[in-house]
């Protein structure tokens, strides 16, 4: 008895149900019962359609053209299967080659050690746009990290397209990456390996690093929300995953033992000899000290600085080249940095209002490695007479630049095994880290990098930054004006002139 055709397009219904099952799984992957029902009914429809048209399928398959087509379809199917297997293996066992000049995307052994020792998952959210300078750096470097550890998850957020997400995280600028793991949260502003690995170390620890500010000498207050205070600075440090506190060495016999970094932020009154001895004892035991010292104050730190071979230079720094455009000559916009873990890949200028310079005496500091982090330009000097309205260089009284206004010191002799290595950073200005200037991009980056370097784990001190093959050009005010005149006036004028000459020549033909 010949089977009759079904009046309903069973095959078309089965195809529709199969597509509906795929869509349902993509929209609601948790409702597997619905997906199973749709795909099961679709399979039944296909079987019913095949049984209903079995004779037609049998006659069609016996034709020569069908057999030739079947062979071609089989070859195509095998090729697709090979591609699927290759992609499956590549997704799980991918191989990457680093052809950059300085192997910028090959992770250091210290980084691999940190990744192997991760005990919990870390979520990384990068707030950047494709046109931002840090986008490609974050993408390529974090890809290397993800290849080395399955505990990292990375997502990129465009703060313009998703402003609500950026607002929830308190992000007010681009090229910011936030690391989250358990209760810890750390944010960085550079895709440098030192920054990323340091953030992984801090965010994977249950305990937070403790930053302590010295009080009792008119220092900038952590609770002051005015321009001269440091309430915003405290907020920046807390967002970095630090615990922030204060200490009064007039009352305490020593710097607390759980202090990872001690900060002396712009004292206005004298720090007693006993307090300086307590600070020195803290450093000798492996402590990390950040001193922000302004000019024209009564806070004499000469005795303590001599221990490390440092001296605060006289006067106030003046710069005719690297300064804030249309601003005072003492508003330094420093662009010259020494290659160091703190300043590596620091491309933004740092604004130091009213700063003083540092002098290092090798004889006194022979046991210390001295690195001048930031310098003024050759067209600068230390002005010793700021009483007059007109400031000019005096060969007899002033000190010719370039001059260092920030420096890092570490002992030449390595500490005993198991003991921390002391570190000191001195900056001839404290206002750059205050509420009025901390949101300046270069200031925020420099301050965070300095604190991060001082508070770093011992196994990351040897993680030295790679020298970049491409060094960005940051013009000074004079160079900016030259570029403006060339691009806006000279080049368009030459284009118009050439056009007129060509037009005149053709008109004479």
Contact 426, 406 (CB under 8 A): yes
Q: How confident is the model at residue 28, as a pLDDT?
A: 67
Give dist(CA 366, CA 306) in Å, integer: 11
Q: How far is CA 231 from CA 155, 210, 238, 350, in A?
A: 30, 17, 11, 20
Q: What is the CATH number of domain 210-454?
A: 3.40.50
pLDDT per position as a tens digit, 26-63: 666 556 677 778 777 877 877 777 777 667 666 666 66
Q: How confident is the model at residue 203, as a pLDDT?
A: 85
Residues in the chain: 509
**Complete DSSP assignment for 275-316:** HHHHHHHHHHTT-EEEEE--SS-S---HHHHHTTTEEEPSSE
Give dist(CA 476, CA 334) in Å, integer: 9
Q: How confident is the model at residue 170, as a pLDDT?
A: 86
pLDDT per position as a tens digit, 157-168: 998 889 899 898
Q: How confident is the model at residue 201, as a pLDDT?
A: 82
Q: How confident is the model at residue 394, as a pLDDT?
A: 80
Annotate 217-238 with three-state secondary structure.
CCCCCCCCCCCCCCHHHHHHHH
Q: How confident is the model at residue 74, as a pLDDT?
A: 52
Identical fold, 96-208 and 210-454? no
> Left (φ > 0), alpha (ψ -120 to 50) or beta: where does 258 sit?
alpha
The full set of domain ranges for the chain reads 10-92, 96-208, 210-454, 475-509
Architecture of the 96-208 domain: 3-Layer(aba) Sandwich (3.40)
Helices (runs of H) and strands (runs of E) counted in the chain = 14, 19
- What are the residue ranges in the chain where pLDDT is below 70? 1-8, 11, 25-32, 53-54, 56-105, 325-327, 388-390, 457-480, 509
């Amino acid at each position: 008895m010949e089977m009759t055709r079904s009046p309903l397009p069973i095959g078309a219904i089965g195809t529709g149900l199969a597509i509906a099952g795929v869509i349902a799984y993509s929209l609601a992957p948790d409702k597997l019962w619905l997906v199973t029902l749709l795909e099961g009914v679709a399979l039944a429809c296909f079987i019913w359609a095949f049984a209903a048209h079995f004779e037609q399928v049998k006659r069609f398959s016996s034709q020569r053209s069908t057999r030739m087509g079947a062979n071609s379809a089989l070859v195509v199917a095998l090729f697709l299967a090979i591609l699927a297997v290759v992609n499956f293996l590549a997704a799980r066992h991918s191989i990457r080659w680093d052809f950059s000049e300085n192997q910028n995307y090959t992770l250091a052994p210290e980084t691999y050690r940190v990744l192997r020792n991760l005990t919990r998952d870390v979520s990384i959210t990068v707030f950047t746009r494709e046109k931002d300078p840090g986008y490609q750096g974050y993408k390529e470097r974090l890809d290397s990290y993800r290849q080395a550890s399955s505990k990292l998850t990375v997502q990129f957020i465009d703060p313009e397209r998703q402003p609500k997400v950026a607002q929830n995280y308190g992000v007010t600028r681009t090229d910011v990456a936030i690391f989250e793991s358990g209760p810890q949260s750390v944010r960085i502003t550079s895709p440098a390996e030192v920054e990323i690995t340091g953030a992984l170390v801090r965010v994977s620890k249950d305990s937070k690093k403790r930053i302590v500010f010295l009080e009792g000498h008119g220092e900038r207050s952590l609770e002051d929300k005015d321009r001269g205070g440091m309430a915003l600075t405290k907020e920046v440090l807390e967002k970095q995953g630090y615990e922030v506190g204060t200490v009064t060495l007039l009352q305490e016999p020593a710097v607390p033992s759980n202090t990872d970094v001690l900060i002396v932020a712009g004292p206005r009154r004298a720090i007693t000899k006993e307090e300086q001895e307590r600070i020195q004892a803290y450093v000798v035991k492996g402590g990390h000290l950040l001193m922000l010292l302004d000019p024209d104050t009564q806070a004499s730190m000469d005795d303590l600085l001599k221990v490390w071979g440092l001296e605060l230079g006289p006067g106030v720094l003046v710069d005719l080249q690297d300064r804030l455009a249309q601003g005072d000559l003492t508003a330094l916009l420093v662009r010259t940095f020494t290659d160091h873990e703190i300043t590596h890949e620091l491309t933004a200028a740092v604004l130091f209002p009213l700063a003083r310079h540092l002098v290092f005496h090798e004889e006194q500091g022979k046991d210390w490695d001295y690195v001048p982090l930031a310098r003024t330009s050759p067209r600068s000097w230390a002005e010793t007479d700021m009483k007059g309205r007109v400031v000019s260089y005096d060969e007899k009284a002033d000190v010719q630049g370039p001059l260092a206004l920030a420096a890092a010191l570490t002992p030449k002799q390595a500490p005993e095994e198991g003991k921390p290595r002391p570190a000191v950073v001195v900056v001839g200005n404290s206002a750059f880290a205050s509420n009025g200037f901390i949101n300046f991009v270069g200031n925020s980056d420099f301050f965070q990098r300095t604190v991060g370097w001082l508070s770093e784990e011992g196994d990351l001190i040897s993680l030295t930054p790679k020298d970049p093959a491409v060094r960005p050009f940051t013009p000074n005010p004079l160079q900016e004006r030259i570029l403006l005149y060339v691009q806006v006036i000279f080049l368009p004028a030459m284009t118009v002139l050439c056009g007129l000459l060509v037009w005149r020549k053709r008109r004479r033909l």
